[in-house]
């Protein structure tokens, strides 16, 4: 009899937790930060990241979750043309796309070559680069836009412009 009451209590608590999580419609809220988990991404961290909202005084201010970063960029070899990317698309060297280790698929990123100031806007559709010290792999077309073909690598600045599945447009 005693064990039946404990089982009932645990079941009741589990049902309450399920209802509470269902009320958030797939979103969990921790310390005022809304986050989403999408199993289509490689990790929960790389899942869709909405802007953080912080209160300062009587108004609300948005803070970007994607800080501007600098590092070394490279570009894909033409041997990958026609192969599948991490998000399931077929890689096309003529499209303005890129691979990044953690930004969500569909994120639009401005990549600026710090050597010559040229920039290009690319869409993240793959994971990589897998070479230590590099922060992004560009398609051949994107690399041409910023003058990266001759040198093979260059120091670049990355600025995420938008993210999410609404930004998922082939291009």
Strand 59-63, strand 108-113: pairing: unpaired
Percent of the chain scoring above 70 in pLDDT? 57
Residues 64-85, mean pLDDT to the nearest whole number: 87
The DSSP 8-state label assigned to residue 49 in this structure reads: -
In the predicted model, is pLDDT for residue 109 greater than 70?
yes
Residues 110-116, mean pLDDT to the nearest whole number: 97
Q: What is the pLDDT of residue 93?
A: 92
User: Model pTM?
Assistant: 0.60
In the predicted model, is pLDDT for residue 91 greater than 90?
yes
Residue 165: phi and psi, rounded to 5, are -70, -20
Helices (H) and strands (E) counted in the chain, each on its own, are 2, 10
Q: What is the mean pLDDT of the chain?
A: 74
What confidence category does residue 3 fall into, taking pLDDT thresholds of 50, 70 and 90? low
Tens digits of residue pLDDT in 47-73: 343 433 333 443 434 445 578 999 999
Who's near 152: CB < 8 A, 6+ residues apart?
A: 74, 75
DSSP string, 88-106: SPBP-TTS-EEE-SSSPTT
Residues 160-164, mean pLDDT to the nearest whole number: 78
Q: Which domains does the chain have, with CATH numbers?
A: 2-63 (no CATH), 69-167 (2.40.40.10)
Q: What is the pLDDT of residue 22?
A: 60
- Residue bearing the bigger pLDDT, 34 or 71: 71
């Amino acid at each position: 009899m005693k064990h039946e009451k404990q089982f009932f209590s645990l079941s009741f608590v589990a049902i309450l937790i399920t209802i509470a999580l269902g009320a958030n419609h797939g979103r969990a809220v921790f310390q005022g930060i809304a986050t989403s988990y999408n199993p289509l991404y490689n990790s929960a961290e790389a899942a869709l990241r909405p802007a953080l909202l912080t209160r300062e005084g009587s108004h609300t201010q948005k803070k970007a979750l994607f800080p501007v970063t600098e590092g070394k960029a490279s570009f894909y070899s033409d041997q990958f043309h026609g192969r599948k990317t991490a998000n399931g698309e077929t890689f096309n060297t003529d499209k303005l796309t890129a691979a990044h280790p953690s930004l969500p698929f569909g994120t639009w990123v401005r990549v600026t070559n710090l050597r010559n100031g040229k920039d290009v806007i690319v869409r993240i559709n793959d994971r990589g680069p897998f070479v230590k010290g590099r922060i992004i792999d560009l398609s051949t077309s994107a690399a041409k836009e910023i003058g990266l073909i001759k040198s093979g690598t260059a120091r670049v600045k990355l600025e995420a412009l938008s993210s999410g599945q609404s930004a998922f447009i082939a291009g």
